[in-house]
């Protein structure tokens, strides 16, 4: 009897790739950092709600992808069952209920668009994921939307307060959008065969791994340049310089990754470099946020 409960729950958690979902919340921490704001109850609920939307979207996508090979954050994906789809619907529903009960109507409206975008992206009858440029646009808008809802919650829909630092928040929004787009492209680099077999014409399938990774590298570089400029101009020059050094090292790692494709497929190196880049930048942003906002307030 336990296996009928424990095994599905375990597989749902594995397919959720909860650590990977935290990367989506980077936009929240960036918005909090650029607003010099602490995490209060409303912000925390909004982060939980958006996290559930993102997790539900991942489960929904996995259900229709039915990948058997390596995924980012999951080396050996369990076999897809109907309960993965059910868990996706429940996660999105719980997140939406939280938004209705505790958050502004604007957040709930954008949440609904997020659900519709998830269906359009993954469902076999629509399958935006199969359209290379449109799928990248979806990931770009997803990153922008995440930063936008974070700012709405942080400033309690005070749009005049947001406009007072318009260029900083525009930069944060664009940085989040370009970062999530690069993340989206990099996650598909080592899924070329599975995507091709399904008929999904991703950037990797159409242009090959090297060119797709080059696009991801360009987007990642744009994102880091924007963040570095904001850090140098508005937060801390020392932190800005540290971030620039880290970004250069990461970009060099990605360039080295590209060279592997000319010689052989090397999935292990792909995974190591992707995880290293994303983990370090996430940890770096969290440390900076808590240091500047909680321990270095003047």
Residue 258 has pLDDT above 70, yes or no: no
> Which uninterrupted H or E stretch holds 110?
helix 105-122
Residue pair 154/32 in contact by the 8 Å Cβ criterion: yes
Count of the separate structural domains present in the chain: 1
Band of residue 251 on the pLDDT scale cut at 50, 70, 90: confident
CATH of the domain at 132: 1.10.600
Give strand ranges (E) for 113-188.
Answer: none
Residue 252 pLDDT: 78
| Band (289; pLDDT cuts 50, 70, 90) | confident
Share of the chain above pLDDT 90, in %: 30
What is the CA 232 to chain-centroid distance, rounded? 24
pLDDT at 270 > cutoff 90: no
pLDDT of residue 128: 85
Instruction: Assign 276 a pLDDT band (cuts: 50, 70, 90).
Output: low
Give the model's pLDDT for residue 117.
94
For the chain, the average pLDDT equals 82
Q: pLDDT-based confidence at 120, cuts 50/70/90?
A: very high
Return the pLDDT at 226: 92
Which stretch, 61-70, 85-94, 156-165, 250-259, has highest mean pLDDT?
85-94
Determine the Cα–Cα distance for residues 119 and 128; give it in Å rounded to an integer.
9
**Structure-model confidence comparison of residues 225 and 20, the more confident one:** 225
Q: Please state the pTM of the whole predicted model.
A: 0.88
Domain, as residue range, for 66: 2-294
Cα gap 21→95, rounded to integer Å: 14
Poorest-pLDDT segment among 88-97, 263-272, 281-290: 263-272
Which residues have a Cβ under 8 Å from the Cβ of 154 and sit 6 or more positions away? 31, 32, 35, 37, 43
Residue 263 has pLDDT above 60, yes or no: no
Closest to 47 measured CA to CA, from 87, 107, 89: 107
């Amino acid at each position: 009897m336990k296996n009928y409960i424990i095994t599905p729950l375990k597989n749902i958690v594995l397919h959720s790739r909860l650590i990977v979902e935290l990367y989506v919340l980077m936009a929240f921490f960036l918005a909090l950092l650029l607003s010099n704001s602490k995490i209060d109850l409303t912000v925390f609920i909004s982060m939980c709600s958006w996290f559930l939307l993102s997790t539900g979207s991942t489960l929904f996508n996995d259900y229709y992808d039915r990948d058997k090979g390596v995924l980012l954050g999951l080396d050996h994906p369990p076999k897809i069952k109907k309960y993965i789809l059910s868990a996706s619907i429940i996660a999105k529903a719980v997140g939406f209920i939280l938004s209705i009960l505790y958050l502004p109507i604007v957040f709930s409206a954008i949440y609904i668009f997020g659900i519709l975008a998830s269906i359009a992206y993954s469902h076999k009858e629509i399958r935006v994921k199969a359209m290379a440029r449109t799928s990248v646009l979806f990931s770009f808008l997803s990153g922008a939307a995440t930063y936008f809802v974070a700012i709405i919650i942080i400033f309690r829909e005070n749009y005049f307060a947001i406009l007072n630092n318009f260029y900083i928040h525009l930069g944060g929004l664009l940085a989040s959008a370009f970062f999530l787009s690069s993340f989206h492209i990099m996650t598909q680099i080592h899924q070329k065969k599975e995507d091709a077999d399904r008929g999904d014409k991703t950037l990797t399938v159409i242009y090959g791994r090297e060119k797709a990774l080059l696009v991801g590298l360009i987007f990642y570089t744009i994102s880091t340049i924007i963040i570095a400029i904001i850090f140098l101009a508005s937060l801390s020059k020392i932190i800005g310089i540290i971030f620039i050094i880290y970004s250069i090292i990461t970009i060099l790692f990605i360039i080295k990754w590209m060279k592997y494709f000319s010689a052989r497929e090397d999935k292990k190196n792909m995974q190591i470099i992707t995880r290293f880049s994303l983990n370090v930048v996430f940890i770096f942003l969290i440390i900076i946020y808590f240091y500047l906002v909680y321990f270095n307030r003047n």
